[in-house]
Structure 1
Amino acid sequence: MRFRITVESDDTDAPEEIVALCTDATGYYIDPPPPARHRYELRGCSPAGGLARAVAAALDNGSAPLGGLTLRALDRHGEPVEPAWDVWCLTDVRILGAGSAGARGTPVDITIEAVMGGHGAGDGYDEQPEVPEVPPLFSGFALMDRDDEDWGVCRQVALIDKEPEPDVVPLRLLGCELRGPLSAAWESGEDRFELGGVYLASLDRSGVVIDEHWTCLHVDSWVPSPAGTGRVDLTLDVSCDDFRSSAAGTVHEMWWEGPPREPHLWSALSGSERVAWSNATQNNRTARPAPGAPVRATIHLDGRHITDVQGFALALGEAVNGPGGWFGACLGTIDHALGGDWGARPPFTLVWHDHEVARACLGRTPLTYDASPSFAEILAFFAARKVDVVLA
C-alpha cells in the first residue's frame, strides 16, 4: 500500500500541498489493544432502574453487564452541579457484586469493572480524572445511563484496582519522498518535527486516494530509508488514530487495483469492514454523478445483504451510483445527499427488493451505544422526505 501526507495551503483557493509520498507503512493496519479495565466501588448507593436490575442479576449470577454509566455531581441540596456538561463517564461496565454499607435496608456499595471514559471515540472525555472530582459541600452523584435515565445516586466513587494502560504501537511510514516544510525540517537536521493538522491518505496502485483522514502528526524520529537514496522512514505520533485497523487493511487491499467494478463485493465483510468500505466510497470520485445530472424517477435497492445499517447505506449507494458508489453512511448523511447533486433527489420511488432481510436485522443492540435505525424508522425517514418506498 502507498501513503500520502498533505497540508492545507495558506491560500484557501489553492489545493492541498503534498509533504510526503510513502511506499509502505508498519503499524497502520492494526487493531488497537483493548483499553485498560479498572475496578471501582460506588459507595453508599441507592440504585434505581437499569442499575438496580443489573445489581440484582449480578447477585444471582455472579456478575452482570450494565453498558455505560454517567455520574454527575450533586450539591448539598441534592441538585445537579452546574455546568451540566461537567460529568464523569465509564463504558463497558460490568457489575461484580454489591454489599451492604451498613444495617439492613441502608444504601449498598457496588463493585464494578469498567473502561474509563466517555461513550465513544473523540467524545471529549479522554482527559477525565481517575475518579470524579468532588465539589465543595457536595452530597454525592446522580447515576444515569447515556440517555439520562435515572439510575439512582451514590455517595462516593473509589478506584480500588487499576490495570496498566496498553502500550501504543507506533505508526511508521516508510520510503517517504519528503517535500515542502517536511523536507526542509529533515535537511536542517531537526530531531523531531511537529506537522500539526494534516490529511493522511492511503493510495491505490495508480496513486488515487482510497481513504483519507485528518489528524495531527508529530515526527518522533526519522532515518534514511533503505528504500532508496533521498528517501526517509518516519516514526509518527498520531493524535487521532481510529483509522488504524485491520478492517481498513482488508478493504484497502480490495481497492488496491482501483474502485470496484462489480456490486456487492462488500457483502461478505464484517461490520467494521463495512464501515471501512463506506469510508472508501466517500473518496470514490469515479462513482459521483456530475453536478446537475438528471436523476432517475425509480431506483431499485437490492436488499439481500442489508443485515446492518452499514449494509443499508452501502446497498443504497450502489443502487444510486453503481459499484463503489456513495449516498450517505447514516440517516444524517443520507438526508444531506438527498438535498444535493448526489444522484437522487425527491420525489422518487425506491423499490426495496428482499426487504424482509432488513426488517429482521436492523435496529438497536441492547447494552451498546449503536443507535442504528430500525426498518420502520428508515421507512418513516423516507416518507418524510417524499421518497415513495415500494416493498418488493
Structure 2
Amino acid sequence: MLRIADDTGWDRGFPVKYLLVQEGEDGGEQLWGRCAGIEGLFVDPVPPPREVLTLRGYRPGGLLGDVLADPESSPRSLGDVCVEVWDGEAPVQWWTLVDAVVVAHRPHPADPERYDVVLGAGVRSEESFFELPAAPRFELFAGTTAAASGAGRCSAVDGLFRDRADPAPVPMELIGCEPTEPLLAALRRPRRSERDWARLLVLDRHGAVMASCCVGLAITGARPSVLGGALVDITLTDGGDDRPSPAVRPIWVR
C-alpha cells in the first residue's frame, strides 16, 4: 500500500512537490514517480470551435424569449445553453451550446407564433445514453447547472447531430522526475492501454496531499532533467481534463 509520508522526502536541495501514482490490479495504489515541478498543470479548457445551428419551430420562453421580443437585440450573447433531448416523459440526451449568440431569427413558416432562430455557438456533447428518439422534443435551459431556468422548446436543432473531432490533448511536463520501475518500464517500451491513466498528487509545503488530477501516461518524450542529477523531464501527451484554471494559481501558492 502506498504511504505518502514515505515518498515525500529525498536528498536534494529542493522538495518533492508531486507524486505520480496508479491504481494496481489489486486495487492498491503504486508509486510511479516523484517530481519537483510541473509545467502545464494550470490550464483553461480549450473551447470548442464555433458553429452555426438553427432552432426550428422554437416556442419562446425565458431569456431567449426576451431576446426575440426585441428585434434590435441581435446579435446577443446568451451564455451557455443546455439542450435536453426528450423521449416521451424523460430526457435522454444532453448538449451544451457554449457561449451561444443569437445571429438572426424569423417567424416559423408553419406557425407564426414560433420562430426559426439561428445561433452561433460551440457545441459540446454531454453523456448521451440512447439513440435519437423517433419523435424527439427539445427543451432549452439558460445555463448548465441544476438552477438553470427554462428557455423554451423547439421541434428540431439543425446542425446539432453530426460527427465532431475530439479536441487535441494539452500536454504536461514532469520536471525533475525520479521514476520508479513501472514508469521506467513505460519509458523503455512506450505503449497505450485502457489502464494508461494515473493520478497526479499535489503536495503542500508539509508533504500532505492537497489536490489530485487524472493524467494520461502516454509519453511523448523524455530527457535528462534541467535540474540535473539522475532526474528526468518527461512530456505526457495528455495532461487530462480536470486541471485547475490559471486563475486559481495564487490560491494554490498560498
Tell me the TM-score normalised to structure 2 length: 0.71
Code of the residue aligned with 1:221 in structure 2: it is T
Check whether the contact 2:54–2:119 (CA below 8 A) recurs between aligned residues. Answer: yes
The CA deviation at 1:20 is 0.6
The CA deviation at 1:84 is 3.0
| 3-state SS, counterpart of residue 250 of structure 1 | helix
Spell out the pairing of 1:111-260 with structure 2 (5 A cutoff). 111-117=118-124, 125=126, 134-136=132-134, 138=135, 141-145=137-141, 147=148, 149=150, 151-158=152-159, 168-186=169-187, 189-192=188-191, 196-204=196-204, 208-209=207-208, 211-226=210-225, 227-238=227-238, 240-254=240-254
- Cα-to-partner distance string for 1:339-385 (whole Å, 9 max, x where unaligned): xxxxxxxxxxxxxxxxxxxxxxxxxxxxxxxxxxxxxxxxxxxxxxx
| 3-state SS, counterpart of residue 105 of structure 1 | strand
Check whether the contact 1:175–1:233 (CA below 8 A) recurs between aligned residues. Answer: yes
Match of 2:5 in 1: none
| 3-state SS, counterpart of residue 109 of structure 1 | strand
> 2: CA distance between counterparts of 1:156 and 1:10?
45
Code of the residue aligned with 1:25 in structure 2: it is I
Check whether the contact 2:198–2:217 (CA below 8 A) recurs between aligned residues. Answer: no
> 2: CA distance between counterparts of 1:235 and 1:248?
23
Q: 1:152 to 1:199 in 2, by over 3 A?
A: closer
The CA deviation at 1:70 is 1.7
Q: 1:70 to 1:239 in 2, by over 3 A?
A: farther
Code of the residue aligned with 1:94 in structure 2: it is V
User: Of the candidates 7, 10, 20, which is equivalent to residue 5 of structure 1?
Assistant: 20
The CA deviation at 1:223 is 1.7
Bigger helix fraction:
1
Check whether the contact 1:54–1:65 (CA below 8 A) recurs between aligned residues. Answer: no
The CA deviation at 1:10 is 5.6
Code of the residue aligned with 2:219 in structure 1: it is D
The CA deviation at 1:210 is 5.3
Code of the residue aligned with 1:198 in structure 2: it is A
> 2: CA distance between counterparts of 1:211 and 1:221?
28
The CA deviation at 1:164 is 9.1
1:102 aligns with 2:109: yes
| 3-state SS, counterpart of residue 249 of structure 1 | helix
Code of the residue aligned with 2:68 in structure 1: it is V
Check whether the contact 2:22–2:32 (CA below 8 A) recurs between aligned residues. Answer: yes
Check whether the contact 2:84–2:92 (CA below 8 A) recurs between aligned residues. Answer: no
The CA deviation at 1:26 is 1.7
The answer for unaligned runs of 5 or more in structure 1 is 74-79, 119-124, 255-392
Match of 1:63 in 2: 75
Code of the residue aligned with 1:39 in structure 2: it is V
> 2: CA distance between counterparts of 1:33 and 1:224?
28
The CA deviation at 1:176 is 1.0
Aligned residues: 230
What's the RMSD between the two structures over aligned residues? Answer: 3.7
| 3-state SS, counterpart of residue 159 of structure 2 | strand
| 3-state SS, counterpart of residue 191 of structure 1 | coil
> 2: CA distance between counterparts of 1:88 and 1:193?
30
Check whether the contact 2:65–2:151 (CA below 8 A) recurs between aligned residues. Answer: no
Check whether the contact 1:69–1:93 (CA below 8 A) recurs between aligned residues. Answer: no
Check whether the contact 2:84–2:93 (CA below 8 A) recurs between aligned residues. Answer: no
> 2: CA distance between counterparts of 1:87 and 1:247?
28
Bigger strand fraction:
2
Spell out the pairing of 1:80-95 with structure 2 (5 A cutoff). 80-81=87-88, 84-95=91-102
Check whether the contact 2:171–2:239 (CA below 8 A) recurs between aligned residues. Answer: no
1:19 aligns with 2:32: yes
1:54 aligns with 2:55: no
The answer for unaligned runs of 5 or more in structure 2 is 1-14
| 3-state SS, counterpart of residue 107 of structure 1 | strand
Check whether the contact 2:45–2:241 (CA below 8 A) recurs between aligned residues. Answer: no
